[in-house]
Structure formats: structure tokens, C-alpha cells
Structure 1
Amino acid sequence: MSLRSDRIGWALLLAVIGFALLAPAFDQTGPLKQSLLKALAGPDAAAPFGYDHLGRSLFSRLAHALRLSLTIAFAATATAAVVGIGLGVLAAWRGGWIDRALGLVADSVLALPALLMVLMMGVILPGMGAAFWAGIAAVQWIEFFRLTRRACRAVMDGPAVEAARIQGFGPAWIFRRILWPEIGPVLRTAMAFGVAGAIAAIAALGFVSVGVPAPTPELGQMMVELLPSWREAPVAVAQPVAACFLLLLSLNLIAGGRA
């Protein structure tokens, strides 16, 4: 069952990514072009998914919004994974005051709300895209750090690592050949959940109007903009919701299949 859910998740994710990447080749209007005469109009040749409240193509805006969310989420999770895994291995390998210091830093960062972290990065970095990337990565690395440190401690005490040290193998070889095969499956699951969490966070911040500024298309922002028109155009309102749902469902199926 887990293998089947894993395959379904990958199929859904590839379909969403394929739409986000290939849609611009068929886009005739662009995500920002307005035509108020077509506000909330149905699909046509130029806009296969219809128009939003300002007469902008939902087909184009959904594709751009998905690319934005996927790019930020994958970049943030990849950064968090590299930092968290590296520091987790270091803490487990060296132990002592290094382990305690890194644990204290992780606990201190965890005390800060994720929203506050993103807003702080928004002041420091130019552009909300960079702020989302840095803010989400600054929160997510803690999970990778804790998982890696806990898993590596158990492996470090085993005979395989001791034998490799005696034979003169370095840390990189030991990590690649001994540690990663043991901790890799857990961390790959954490990565899938991390990307899903990042996408949900971006959409949630957009929904409360503190995310990517208009008119840049973003899933949460599109939901807020279209929500007042749910009676006149329920299909239009449902589109960013469905896109976000399918994206999160695919990633959770992938993570569940690996668990």
C-alpha cells in the first residue's frame, strides 16, 4: 500500500510540475494582463481556465503561482537539509560542548515563530521570495538537525564506524558508505514533508496578506482575491484551492510511502 501511495504521489507531483513548467508555452496572455470586460468570464482559447475578478488569465496565473511556490519550497528545504544534516553529523561525531552548543542554538531558534522569522528576513533581504526562502530554511533546518543527530548517535556507537576509523577512512567516506544508508530513508521522508510544509506556509502567509505582494501570482493570495466572488464564479475560486490541495496531497503521499 505504501509503495502504491508513493507512486500515486509522484504521478500527481510530476503532473503539477509539468503543468507549471509547460503552461507558459501555451500561454497567450501572461499572468498580469488585465481585461475588465472579461472579469470572471469562463474559459476561452486565450484563457483555458477562465478569468479572475480583474480579467486576468487563471491558466497563466496558476502556472506562475505554482512555479513560485515550488521554487521557494524546494530551495528552502534543500538549504535546510544541507545545513541541518551537516550540523547534525557534526554534533553526533564530535559530541561534548559542540553538541550542547548546537542543541542550544536549535532550541533557541525553535522558540521563534516561523511567521516572525519570515518577516524578519523580509526586512533584511530584498524581495519576499528571498525572505520566504531564508525564513523557511531558518526554521526547517532544526528538524533535519535533530533527526540526523539522533540517528547518527546510534550508528556512531556501532562496530562499522569504529572499524572504518581504525582502517583510516575519513568522515566523508564514513558518512557516504555507513551513515547515509542508515539515516537516508528517514531524511528523505522529512524532505518531502518539509517541501509540503513550506508550500503550506507560503500559501497561508499569502492568505493573510503578508506574503508575496500583488500583482505577483501566489496561491494563497489568489484565494483571497477570488474569495469575494465565490457566488458568481465558484469554479474560479476552487482552482487555486485545488492546485494547493493536489500539491500538498502528492508530497504527503510521497512522504507516507517512504515512511
Structure 2
Amino acid sequence: MSLTLTDLPQQSRAWARLMGACLLVLVLAFALLAPLVFPADPLRQSLGQILAAPDAASPLGYDHLGRSLTARLASALRLSLAIAAAAVLSGAILGVAAGVLAAWRGGWLDRALSLIADAFLALPGLLLVLIVSAIVPVTAFAFWIGLTLVLWIEFFRLTRATVSRLLAAPAIEASLLLGFGPIHVFRRHLWPELAPMLLTLGAFGAATAVMMIAALGFVSVGVRPPRPELGLMMVEMLPYYREAPMALLVPVAATFLTLLGLNLVAGGRRA
């Protein structure tokens, strides 16, 4: 069966989405199963294994304090992915609710919510997360709040623009004239249109969250040692890149594969 030119981009998107999903499955499998297959305390130091080569207990080797890089990488991935997933979920709920409300009600409420979104958008994302981190003592909780405040804006803007356009559709006008409530209209007419775009935006948002967490760790203002985190692991191993280049490559490769998988999943979907 021959393919037309219009089929090729669609097949490319499908392959990109599949490759991204496979990468994410591999990253998640390592993060969740590594502690079961290679049980080790990511905080336990062993001076006899400083920068030691990989062995059966730690296939990725050991860091400058003799800690298992396998255990630390799995723990760091679980932390970053958990915070990113929580931030995307809360940001999506907040943004979609505010976007639907702004588009449905209009008037002063729409202007007020849009003004709030523009005010948050004026602040750089990393700065907003840093401000929240300075106020909230628990780092993971602070990251969740800060990233939620960063991510909800795009969900709000996308939802508001889409719902504003859809509310003028004849099907929705007919449903409202027949007396159907907002919940029915949202579930029957709005959500099917919003869902694909929100999934794409959610994947991009998760990639942004993982990148921000790693960036803050890389400049030593994120997760505090000895707790493992991807950016912090890069900083810790950077002075030893000549003696143990693989130890530095481990968190770099893990971050790259995670971001690549999320971006392929997002870019492989048609918005």
C-alpha cells in the first residue's frame, strides 16, 4: 500500500511518540526496579570504593565518596519525576479550571485571571521557584509549589483560548439551549477537544520541570546534599571527570534521555 505525502508526517509523529514512550518506560523501569535488583543505600559512604569501577552491586560504579551511583541515580530520577508529575497535575487542574471559568464567564473575571497570569508570566520561571524555595523550608514541597505556579499559566492560556472558540460552536449553543449544565457541556464538548492538547502540554511541562530541578541543583541552590538529585550529581562529579568520566556521564545521560523521551512524546502528538 503506497503512502501519500500527508501520511508521512503522521507516521513520523507516531514513531517519535513511540520512541519517546519507550525511553520513558526504560527510565521509569530503572528508577523503580533498580532498588529491588541492586539494593543499596544511596547515602551510604564507603572510603574503600571511592571512584571504584562498576561491579555486581553497582553496575554504574561509585562516586567520590564511595556511594553507589546506581542507587543514587535511581533515587534522583524518582525525585525529579515525582515532583514533575505532581507539578504538571496540579498546574493542569488549576490552569484548566481557571481557563474554563475565564472563557465561560468573561467580563471582569476574565480580565482579572488574565492579569494574574500575565503577572506570573513576567517573572522568570527559575526565579519564581527560587522565591518559593526561600519561603518554604521543605525543598521537594517548595519545588512542587513553585513549578505549579510556573506551569499553570500555559494550561490557563491554552484552555481559555480553546474554550472561547468552542463556546460559539452550534453544538454547544444547542446543548445550552436544551438546558444542559456546564458539567455536561465540559465533558461532552470541551474535554474531547482539550485533552490531546493538554497531554502535549503536560509532556512539555514535565520536561520543563525536570530541567528546572536539574538546573537549580547544578548551581547548588536546589536539593541539598547528601540527597541525590540529577543536577547535584553532575556538580559533585564534575571535578573528577578525568579520573572517572563515566561517573559524570551517568547523570548527564539520564537527564538527556528523560528530556528526550518527554519531548518526543509531546512533539509526536498533533496539537
Taking structure 2 as the reference length, the TM-score comes to 0.94
Q: What's 1:248 paired with?
A: 259
Report how far residue 27 of structure 1 moved.
2.8
Q: Does 1:43 align with 2:54?
A: yes
Q: Does 1:131 align with 2:142?
A: yes
Q: What's 2:218 paired with?
A: 207
Moved more, 113-122 or 172-181: 113-122
Counterpart CA distance in 2 for 1:45 and 1:10 is 29
Counterpart CA distance in 2 for 1:29 and 1:164 is 59
Q: Which amino acid aligns with 1:218?
A: E
Counterpart CA distance in 1 for 2:198 and 2:266 is 10
Q: What's 1:6 paired with?
A: 17
Q: What's 1:184 paired with?
A: 195
Q: What's 1:220 paired with?
A: 231
Q: How does 1:82-231 map to 2 (within 5 A)?
A: 82-231=93-242
RMSD, aligned α-carbons: 0.9
Q: Which amino acid aligns with 2:35?
A: P
Counterpart CA distance in 1 for 2:212 and 2:127 is 12
Give the share of equivalent positions with the same residue, in percent: 59
Q: Secondary structure at the match of 1:126?
A: coil
Counterpart CA distance in 1 for 2:40 and 2:47 is 14
Q: What's 1:76 paired with?
A: 87
Q: Deviations over 1:206-255 (max 9, x none)?
A: 00000000000000000000011111111111000000000000000000
Q: Secondary structure at the match of 1:258?
A: coil
Q: What's 1:19 paired with?
A: 30
Counterpart CA distance in 1 for 2:70 and 2:39 is 10
* Runs of 5+ consecutive residues of structure 2 not aligned to the other structure: 1-11
Report how far residue 167 of structure 1 moved.
1.1
- Paired residues in the alignment total 259
Report how far residue 116 of structure 1 moved.
2.5
Report how far residue 187 of structure 1 moved.
1.3
Counterpart CA distance in 2 for 1:215 and 1:157 is 55
Report how far residue 125 of structure 1 moved.
2.3
Report how far residue 182 of structure 1 moved.
1.3
Q: Deviations over 1:107-138 (max 9, x none)?
A: 11111222222222223323110010000100
Q: What's 1:62 paired with?
A: 73
Q: Which amino acid aligns with 2:203?
A: A
Counterpart CA distance in 2 for 1:94 and 1:163 is 18
Report how far residue 46 of structure 1 moved.
1.6
Q: Secondary structure at the match of 1:209?
A: coil
Moved more, 29-38 or 241-250: 29-38
Q: What's 2:8 paired with?
A: none
Moved more, 230-239 or 105-114: 105-114
Q: Deviations over 1:116-161 (max 9, x none)?
A: 2222222332311001000010011000000000011110011111
Counterpart CA distance in 2 for 1:67 and 1:171 is 38
Counterpart CA distance in 2 for 1:180 and 1:28 is 43
Moved more, 153-162 or 180-189: 180-189
